[in-house]
Amino acid sequence: MRLCSVELTNFRNYDHLQLVFPDGTHVLYGANAQGKTNLLEAIYLCTCARSHRTGRDEELVRHGSDFYRVSVRFLTDRNLEESVSLEYRPSSNRNGTPSRTICYNDLEVTRLSDMMGLFHAIIFAPEDLQIVKGGPGERRRFLNVLISRTDRSYFRDLQDFWRIIGQRNRLLKHIKSRGSLSAREETVRLCGNLTAFDQDGSELDIEEIAAPQSGAQLDVWDAQLASVSSSILKKRLDYTEKLSEYAALSLRHLTSSREQLDIQYRGFSGLDREMGRETIERLYLERLRRGREDDIARGSTSNGPHRDDLSLALNGVEARLFSSQGQQRSIVLSLKIAELMILTEIAGEKPILLLDDVMSELDSSRRSLLMEVIQGHQVFITCTDPAQIFPASSYAQGSAGSVYYYPVVNGTVGSGTNAPMG
Ligand code: ATP
Ligand code: MG
């Protein structure tokens, strides 16, 4: 895949920008806070409609503007010229509700899931360190984005999951606000005894008859939650196995087999990667039923795909807790290379690579692994000093093809030249 052009309007510190790119390596250089990362962020946004830095679209709108627009034109490895564009308005109508319009080849894409897997770019950024150092949410997001980009039904399942769990949690809070379900069930028992009185026309407390409905309604949400969660979990288990294999391979390569990485999916107890979807569904349903009283007490669902984690163990111990900064960087690099391998394998397209200020943080062995991996891809690199990125290395003038340098100054990008200016 090759990015042919990019156009930004009111995006971050860019008023309007239009750039055309030939094949090769593109180095965006300049002082701090000029807009280098913003440009990579805009390109990455066209892969999955989510920035690598924030989940809040309104932050991306240029201050003082009321919308942003980003569009990319690209050439697939099958030689088809395609485009993706995104427009976002924080308040599009009188109600002030935000709107997002996504187009593929100038036709509107109504479902967000249909945007996944159209344009492939992978970003290597300083924020990636959070995959190892951060909380479980960072690792779940990494896995969710990876799977969604190669499997649209996974993304739709995730959307369904959030809708269903939202409903279940609302019901749990509702039950909690009226006393625990066991107290309710006690009422149900009493209600049963009162049936005759009811039939005789005596009045039943409306609160009391709500109880059996709540229990039955919870059964309905549990069944739906177990069904959609089992699809999500099955895919997460499968992808984790692939991720573990490829990342371990990269890390062995990087450390001359000194470091061993093992990645495991950590879900509810009893969940096993050999399990089929139906078994997972049955087990999770049991888990939901057993945890129901606790869930009512909390007013939320305590087990499920929204709580799971990836365990990253380096040489048998938890990397988040025991690995050095350098080891954590190596793990992140291995994970990103694994992401690249999986995406290439499943999508059958070589993704565009966006390297945001990462070269300066890598030592020579990590840098040369990255250089090996990026061969044959179109690459965009940001840095403050291009001379540090490409010292007279074999890569710079060799198999990477042409290298173009673009000065970035205060939301403007100069035209590409074969050597950095000044
Ligand atoms: P560094 O070398 O420090 O990483 P950079 O060139 O990558 O710098 P960016 O993160 O791309 O910097 O851009 C930062 C600039 O963009 C800052 O000046 C910031 O104030 C500006 N900026 C960020 N969001 C917006 C926005 N919504 N509207 C206007 N300007 C913004
Ligand atoms: Mg930056």
Ligand 1 binding site (Cβ under 6 Å of any ligand atom): 12-13, 30, 32-38, 59, 61-63, 357, 382, 384
- CB-based contact 27:40 (threshold 8 Å): no
| CA 32–ligand 1 middle distance (angstroms) | 8
Which residues are within 5 Å of ligand 2 (an ion), measured at CB? 37
pTM for this entry: 0.88
So what's the pLDDT on residue 401? 67
Give the closest residue to 299 by CA, choosing from 176, 184, 181: 176
Closest ligand 1 atom to Cα of 41: 11
| CA 384–ligand 2 middle distance (angstroms) | 9
- The upper half-sphere exposure of residue 345, i.e. CA atoms within 13 Å in the direction of its Cβ, equals 12
> Could you tell which of 16, 38, 355, 410 is best to mutate to test the pocket of ligand 1, judged by most ligand atoms within 8 Å of the CB?
38
Question: How confident is the prediction along the chain (422 residues), in pLDDT tens digits per residue?
Answer: 999 999 999 999 999 999 999 988 999 999 999 999 999 999 999 999 999 999 999 999 999 999 999 999 999 999 999 999 999 999 876 778 899 999 999 999 999 999 999 999 999 999 999 999 999 999 999 999 999 999 999 999 999 999 999 999 999 999 988 875 555 554 444 444 333 333 333 333 434 444 557 788 999 999 999 999 999 999 999 999 999 999 999 999 988 899 999 999 999 989 999 999 999 999 999 999 999 999 999 999 999 999 999 999 999 999 999 999 889 999 999 999 999 999 999 999 999 999 998 877 778 888 888 888 888 899 999 999 888 776 544 444 444 568 999 999 999 999 888 888 77
For atom 19 of ligand 1, the residue with the nearest CA is 33
For atom 12 of ligand 1, the residue with the nearest CA is 33
- CB-based contact 5:20 (threshold 8 Å): yes
Query: Which tokens in the block code for residue 137?
Result: 């949410």
So what's the pLDDT on residue 362? 79
| CA 37–ligand 1 middle distance (angstroms) | 7
Q: Domains along the chain?
A: 1-120+349-422 (3.40.50.300), 133-345 (1.20.1050.90)
Give the closest residue to 310 by CA, choosing from 243, 374, 366, 365: 243
- CB-based contact 382:356 (threshold 8 Å): yes
| CA 360–ligand 2 middle distance (angstroms) | 12
CA distance 46 to 71: 7
> Could you tell which of 13, 88, 361 is best to mutate to test the pocket of ligand 1, judged by most ligand atoms within 8 Å of the CB?
13
> Between vectors from CA 87 to CA 83 and to CA 92, what angle results, nearest 5°?
155
Instruction: Find all residues with CB under 8 Å of 402, minimum gap 6, and list them.
Output: 22, 23, 24, 25, 418
